[in-house]
Structure 1
Amino acid sequence: MKRYSIYILILIITGITSCKKGFLDIEDPNGPAKTTPDKMLTNVLRQALELQATAGLPTSTITQQLATSRLTTPNVDNWVDLGAVNYEFQNNYFFVASNNEAMMQWATEEGSFAYVGIGKLIKALCYAYTTDLFGEVYYDEANKEIAQPKFNTQDYVYQQILGLIDDAEQQFDKPSFRTVGDEDIFYGGDLNKWKKFGFALKARLLNHLSKKPNYNPQEVLSLIDKSFQDRSGEPIFIYPGPYPDAHPWSPDGNLPSSAKTWNKYFVNLLNGEGMNGVRDPRLEKIVNPGSDGVYRGVTNGITKDGLNPELIGSLWGKFYTSENSEYCLLTFDELKFIEAEAAFRTGDKMRAHTAYKSAITNNLQRMGVGIAEQNTYMQSAAVAQNPASLSLKDIMIGKYISLVFQPEIWVDMRRMDYSPQIYPGLAQPPGANPALKGAWVRRLPPFSTEIDYNKAQVEAIGGLAPDYTGKKVWWDSAN
C-alpha cells in the first residue's frame, strides 16, 4: 500500500489538533513526525466521528431516510452512481487508521496501554463500518509498504475486529504510563466506560450475524448486560459550532449538500401515514415544514416530486442537522433495540418488549419531547402495547425512526432482506439500477482509486462486475 504510506507521514505530522483550536486547525504543519499519544487521541476520535457521519450519507439514501431534491444527482438515489459517495473507504485508511496506528504504536512503546485500548476499539469500530459497507476490504496488508494490497474476506475481518475488542479490554487492565484525560472527548479518560462501550460494540457486531447458523442471541444479551445501562454511558460528542467546529450534518459541516432532503418514506412514518394514523411527536424535531406548513419528503429518484421548491422544507437546523447537534458512536437507544431483537429471537418476549419500550422512550427524551406527549405516543397504536403483540417489525421500524443518519440501519435492512413485512411500503426507487436486475443494493462499489491503482485485486473479488453492488456481503447470507 505504498501510495497510502505517502499520506501516513503527512497525516501524522499535520493531523494533531489542539482542543483550543477549530476542528480542522493544524497544530504545526512543520512539527515533529512523532509525538505522544495524548496529543493524537482527540484527532483520532473526531476522525472516527467523521467516518461514521460520512458513511451515513450513502446509507441514509439507500435506506430512504434521505432523498435527492434536485435534478443533478438522481443517480445516487437510484443506485446507479453509488461510487460518488463512498469516501468512507479512504476515511478509514487515510484519516483514521494512519493516525490511530501510529498512536497505538507510540503508546505501546512508552507503556501507555490505556491509549492502546482506546485505539483498538476505534480500529474495530471503523473497520466494522468499512467492511459492512464494502464487504472485502484490506486488513492484513493495510497501511503498509505494499503497492497493491490484497483484500481480506469479510468473515476474516470480523474475526480480527472481534479480537481487537477482546484485546482492548485486556489493555485497559494493564498499568498505563500515561493517564487519559480531557483529550478523550467522549469519556474524559473513564476507562470503565470504554470497557462498557466495547461490550456494546461487540453486541452490535455479533447481532449482525443473525442469518448465520452460529448466531447466538444469548451471547448478545450477555454482552448488553455488561455494557452501559443508561445514556450517561454513551460515547457522545456535542459539536460546539460554528465552523470549523460544526456538526458534520449541519450547513457548516463537512457533509452538507443542498441536493439532499428528507425522504417521503421516512417522513410518512413520522406524520402518521405509515404508523396506524399516529403522528409522531419527533416529526417537528427532525423535519422542517414547507412554506404551506405541511411536513413532506420526496421520493428517491424523482426530483422534488414535481413540487415547487418552497413546499419542501430545508434539511437544516433541526435536532440532527444543527451546528451544535450531538453525535454518538453508539446510542443507548440502539443498544436497547439490539436487546429487544436478540431477546425476541430467544423467545423472551417480556424482555424484548421492555427493551423495545425503553429504546423508544429514551429516544423521545433525547429529542426533548415533553412528558405528556411521550405518554400519549407510548400508549398509542404506533407502539406495541404488550409482549404478546410485539413483532420483529415493531422493533425494526422503531429502530429505523430512532437512528437517523446511522449506517446500522442499512445493516438492518439487508439482514431483513428489505422485507415489506418488516418495512411496510418500502419500494425500490424509480429507475433503480438496471444492472441489478431487480435486486436490492447490498454493498457499495469499490473506491475509485482502488480501480485505478489496484485493479487486479479489485477484479479478483469481482468488483468490476456491473451487478457487484447487488452481491451480498458475508453476514448477509446463511452460508
Structure 2
Amino acid sequence: MKFKYLVTKILSVGGIFLISSCDSYLDVNENPNNPVDAPISGLMINSSYESALNVFRVGDITSNYVQYLASPNPASASDTMEPLSFNSTWFNLYNVMTDLTVLIEKSEEQGAGHYQGAAQILMALNLSMGVDIFGDMPFSESFNFETVTPAYDEDTQLYELIIQYLDDGIANLQGSTTSSLGDDDFIYGGNVDYWISFGNMLKARYMLHLSELPSYDESALLSALDNGFSSNEENADVTFFDEAVNPWFNVARNNADLLLGGWISEQFIEATDGTTFGVADPRLPLMVGATDDDEYVGTVNGAGRGDAPPSGARSTLIEGQFYTSLASPVLIATFSEQKFIEAEATFTLDKARSYQAYLDGIRAHMEMLSVPDAEIDTYINNPSVGMGVAAFTIDDIFKEKWVALFLHPEAWNDARRYDYQYDNMDLPENLNPDLNGQFIRRLAYPDNEISRNGSNVPEVTLLDRIFWDVQ
C-alpha cells in the first residue's frame, strides 16, 4: 500500500533545515535566521510539501476560470477575469524552484542520484505550472547572485527544459545513489518506482499540451504512458494530518465560518446533476455540499448569490468530503488523468483504445472517491456516458476529464486547449470588458515583478496565448 505521512511530525523535525530562496533574486537581503546551507533531506521535505501546496495555490486561481467555483459576490474579479496580481503565487513557485536548484546541485555533488532525480521531476512540475499560467519567465538567470533583474526565457524554450528535467530525473532515479529517499519524501515515502512512473506521467501530460504543434512527438507520449501509472495506488499526492491541514479543508471551514469561499459554479452543478447531460453523476454528493434543503444549487459566475443568504441556499465546498477533509490528499497527478491523456492521444490512432481509456478514466476517478461499484456501473452503462465506440467523440473525453480534474490547475490548460467548448459553459456575467467577449487565456505578470524587474517583463494582455494554446 502507498505510504502515507504524518506531515506535522516530520515538519517539526525537518523544519529547522528549510531554506527560503536564499540564493534567489527574489530576496534582497540575507536573512540571518535562515541557514545558508541545508541537508538534502531537509530540502526534500520542503520541496515535496510545498510543491503540493503550489498545486493548490494555482488551482485556487484557475478553478473560477473553468467554473468549478464561483464567487458569492457579484462582479468579483476572480469570476469576471480581471487582471489580478498573483504576487504570492509567483513567489511561492520561485521559492520552491530555488530550493530545488540547491537540492539538485547538492545531490549531484554527493552522488545522491535518487534525490537528484526526484528534485528534477519536481522542478519540471513547478516550472510547468508557472509557464502554463504566465508564459515567458525568468529561469536561466534566476538562481544565482549575478543579477537581481534576470532576463526572461521564452515559454517554448522552458518547455524543452521541462521535458529535459523529466528525462534526466527518470534516468537518475533508475541509477545508483549514495542516499535513499525515505520519510523526507512527502509524496511517495521513498518509493523510487513510483517516482519513475510519476515522471513518465508528467511527461505525457506536458507532451499532450504540444499536440497541435510541429514539435509534438506522438511516439514519445505513448511511450511515457506505457511507463506511467498503473493504478490509483501510484497517484502523486501529499496527505495532510493534524495542524498541517488540507488547504481545501481550510476553504470549506472558512466558508462555514462565513469567510465566504468555495461556492460551486452553476455550470459544475448542472453538468453533474443531470441537467446538462441527462444523467446524474454519483460523484456530485461526494465532491460538494447540498443546500439546507438538501438540493444542489450552483452560483452563476460573475452574478454572485443574488438574493440568497450568505450560506445554506447555494452549494459550497463543505468539510469532510474527499477533497475537503482535514486529512484529504492534495492531488498532484492521478491515474485517472493519465487515462484521459491516453484517450485523447489515441483518439485518431485507435478509437477503440481511446474509448476504453476514457471509460477507465471515469472508473478510476470514481473508485478514488469510493463510489460504490453498482453506482459506477450504472453511470458508465448510461448511454450518455457509455455510448459505444461509434458514437464516442473528443467532447466526451474533455467533459469527463473536466469532472475528474475537479479543483486541479490542469483543468485550465485543458479548457484553453479545448477553447472552453464545454456544453453550457457561458462567459461569466459582468465579464471584464477588456476581454472583448472572450475567455481569459493567461494571467497578468505580478505587480511586484513589474516594479522590481519591469524592464524585462513582457508586455502581454489577458488574451495573449501561451505558445501551446493554438488558435
Same fold (TM over 0.5): yes
Work out the CA distance in 1 between the residues paired with 2:409 and 2:225. Answer: 20
Instruction: Give the aligned residue type for 1:378.
Output: I
The yes-or-no answer on 1:144 pairing with 2:137 is no
Structure 1 residues 319-357: Cα deviation after superposition (integer angstroms, max 9, x where no partner): 2122111222110000000000001032x1110011000
Partner of 1:382: 384
Partner of 1:462: 459
- Give 1:400's match in structure 2, choosing from 395, 399, 402: 402
User: 1:305 offset after TM fit, Å?
Assistant: 3.6
Structure 1 residues 186-232: Cα deviation after superposition (integer angstroms, max 9, x where no partner): 22222222111111111000000122134233432221011121112
Instruction: Give the aligned residue type for 2:196.
Output: K
Provide closer, same or farther for how the CA distance between residues 173 and 255 of structure 1 changes in structure 2, counting only shifts above 3 A. farther
* SS of equivalent to 1:452: helix
User: 1:103 offset after TM fit, Å?
Assistant: 1.7
| Correspondence list, 1:265-304, <5 A | 265-275=267-277, 277-304=278-305
Provide closer, same or farther for how the CA distance between residues 415 and 21 of structure 1 changes in structure 2, counting only shifts above 3 A. closer
Instruction: Give the aligned residue type for 1:68.
Output: S
Work out the CA distance in 1 between the residues paired with 2:322 and 2:307. Answer: 27
The yes-or-no answer on 1:472 pairing with 2:469 is no
| Correspondence list, 1:12-411, <5 A | 19-21=9-11, 26=16, 30=33, 32-71=35-74, 74-83=76-85, 85=86, 87-94=88-95, 96-145=96-145, 146-241=147-242, 243=243, 245-251=244-250, 258-275=260-277, 277-309=278-310, 310-317=312-319, 318-346=321-349, 348-411=350-413
Structure 1 residues 402-442: Cα deviation after superposition (integer angstroms, max 9, x where no partner): 111111111111111112xxx11111111211112122210
> TM-score, with normalisation over the residues of structure 2?
0.90
8 Å CA contact retained: 2:201, 2:338: yes
Work out the CA distance in 2 between the residues paired with 1:355 and 1:87. Answer: 37
Provide closer, same or farther for how the CA distance between residues 199 and 169 of structure 1 changes in structure 2, counting only shifts above 3 A. same
8 Å CA contact retained: 1:291, 1:313: no
Work out the CA distance in 1 between the residues paired with 2:292 and 2:13. Answer: 35
Provide closer, same or farther for how the CA distance between residues 116 and 296 of structure 1 changes in structure 2, counting only shifts above 3 A. same
User: 1:396 offset after TM fit, Å?
Assistant: 0.4
Partner of 1:453: 452
Structure 1 residues 221-273: Cα deviation after superposition (integer angstroms, max 9, x where no partner): 221011121112222222123x3x10011127999762330100011111111
Work out the CA distance in 2 between the residues paired with 1:99 and 1:340. Answer: 36
Work out the CA distance in 1 between the residues paired with 2:9 and 2:71. Answer: 36
| Runs of at least 5 residues in structure 1 that lack an aligned partner in the other structure | 1-16
Work out the CA distance in 2 between the residues paired with 1:111 and 1:372. Answer: 51
User: 1:87 offset after TM fit, Å?
Assistant: 3.1
Work out the CA distance in 1 between the residues paired with 2:83 and 2:70. Answer: 14
8 Å CA contact retained: 1:299, 1:305: no
Work out the CA distance in 1 between the residues paired with 2:294 and 2:192. Answer: 47
Partner of 2:26: none
Provide closer, same or farther for how the CA distance between residues 305 and 395 of structure 1 changes in structure 2, counting only shifts above 3 A. farther
Instruction: Give the aligned residue type for 1:220.
Output: L
Work out the CA distance in 1 between the residues paired with 2:313 and 2:110. Answer: 59
User: 1:477 offset after TM fit, Å?
Assistant: 1.8
User: 1:34 offset after TM fit, Å?
Assistant: 1.6
8 Å CA contact retained: 2:68, 2:268: yes
Provide closer, same or farther for how the CA distance between residues 31 and 450 of structure 1 changes in structure 2, counting only shifts above 3 A. closer
* SS of equivalent to 2:211: coil
* SS of equivalent to 2:305: helix
Work out the CA distance in 1 between the residues paired with 2:288 and 2:87. Answer: 26
Moved more, 277-286 or 166-175: 166-175
Work out the CA distance in 2 between the residues paired with 1:152 and 1:398. Answer: 35
Structure 1 residues 291-316: Cα deviation after superposition (integer angstroms, max 9, x where no partner): 11111110111111432332113422
Work out the CA distance in 1 between the residues paired with 2:9 and 2:176. Answer: 26
Work out the CA distance in 1 between the residues paired with 2:106 and 2:175. Answer: 16
Partner of 1:12: none
Instruction: Give the aligned residue type for 1:137.
Output: M
Structure 1 residues 97-136: Cα deviation after superposition (integer angstroms, max 9, x where no partner): 1222122222222211211111100000100010000011
8 Å CA contact retained: 2:53, 2:330: no
8 Å CA contact retained: 1:290, 1:311: yes
* SS of equivalent to 1:157: helix
Structure 1 residues 42-88: Cα deviation after superposition (integer angstroms, max 9, x where no partner): 211010001110000111110111000135x71211012432x4632
Work out the CA distance in 1 between the residues paired with 2:194 and 2:374. Answer: 32
Work out the CA distance in 2 between the residues paired with 1:399 and 1:24. Answer: 37
* SS of equivalent to 2:248: coil
8 Å CA contact retained: 1:36, 1:107: no
Percent pairwise identity: 29
User: 1:21 offset after TM fit, Å?
Assistant: 4.3
Moved more, 109-118 or 73-82: 73-82
* SS of equivalent to 1:306: coil
8 Å CA contact retained: 1:18, 1:27: no
Provide closer, same or farther for how the CA distance between residues 372 and 253 of structure 1 changes in structure 2, counting only shifts above 3 A. closer
* SS of equivalent to 1:329: strand
> TM-score, with normalisation over the residues of structure 1?
0.88
Work out the CA distance in 2 between the residues paired with 1:30 and 1:462. Answer: 37
User: 1:457 offset after TM fit, Å?
Assistant: 1.3
* SS of equivalent to 2:290: coil
Provide closer, same or farther for how the CA distance between residues 61 and 24 of structure 1 changes in structure 2, counting only shifts above 3 A. farther
Instruction: Give the aligned residue type for 1:80.
Output: E
Work out the CA distance in 2 between the residues paired with 1:68 and 1:314. Answer: 10
Work out the CA distance in 2 between the residues paired with 1:75 and 1:384. Answer: 38
User: 1:25 offset after TM fit, Å?
Assistant: 5.7
